[in-house]
Amino acid sequence: MTQNKVSATLSAADRQAVMSAIDTIKQAMPFLVHLTVEERKASPKVGDRSRGFMLNCLDAAQQHTDCLPRSFDVEEMQKDMQLMEDLYPVLMALTELHSLVDDTYFTAQCEAYTASLKVYDAVKAHEDLPGMKIVVEQLRQQFARRNKKDTIDSTPQPMAAGVS
């Protein structure tokens, strides 16, 4: 027998409360940005190991402003560093929450699919009952193999130029 790891419901009111809480979080951080895949790829690769380097560079920038180009904004660098520090615990909490929601969704999905397979097997076993053949055929569509050749053969082909 399979183990039922999750047995829960999410009421419409609770789902709305969660969605409202997410909206509240977004409103509390109106500065959040969305990057495209291309923008992310074009950005420097920075990780946790870079933090010390960035802090040392900020310290150097604050102490040696005369070495920097006039257009360099030390205050903006300091703001970016502070925002990075302030967002880190939020990021960790949201990452944990995302992982929990994702794992729970995945588990519920797997359990529902496993239950569906049991229903399918039971219905197939009683295919000889009146009206059951139609149900079995409908459910069997999930497992119909799709052959690439069949797809290509069934696609209307354009006629060659000059052929009628």
Q: What rounded mean pLDDT belongs to the chain?
A: 90
The answer to whether 4 and 111 are in contact (CB under 8 A) is: yes
Task: Identify the DSSP state of 127.
Answer: T
Please give the residue range of the domain that contains residue 123: 39-154
**Chain segment 65-103, per-residue pLDDT in tens:** 999 999 999 999 999 999 999 999 999 999 999 999 999
Q: What is the pLDDT of residue 145?
A: 81
Q: What is the pLDDT of residue 164?
A: 44
**Chain segment 133-162, per-residue pLDDT in tens:** 999 999 999 888 876 665 555 555 555 555
**Chain segment 11-69, per-residue pLDDT in tens:** 999 999 999 999 999 999 999 999 999 999 999 999 888 999 999 999 999 999 999 99
Residue 33 falls within a domain, yes or no? no
Residue 52 falls within a domain, yes or no? yes
In percent, the amount of the chain with pLDDT more than 90 equals 80
Residue 98 falls within a domain, yes or no? yes
Residue 122 falls within a domain, yes or no? yes
Residue 60 falls within a domain, yes or no? yes
Residue 26 falls within a domain, yes or no? no
Q: What is the pLDDT of residue 3?
A: 82
The answer to whether 152 and 140 are in contact (CB under 8 A) is: no
**Residue 18 structure tokens:** 């969660």
**Into how many domains does the chain fold?**
1
Residue 135 falls within a domain, yes or no? yes
Residue 9 falls within a domain, yes or no? no
In 60-91, which positions are buried (b, 16+ CB within 10 angstroms) versus exposed (e)? ebeeeeeeeeeeeeeeebeeeeeeeeeeeeee
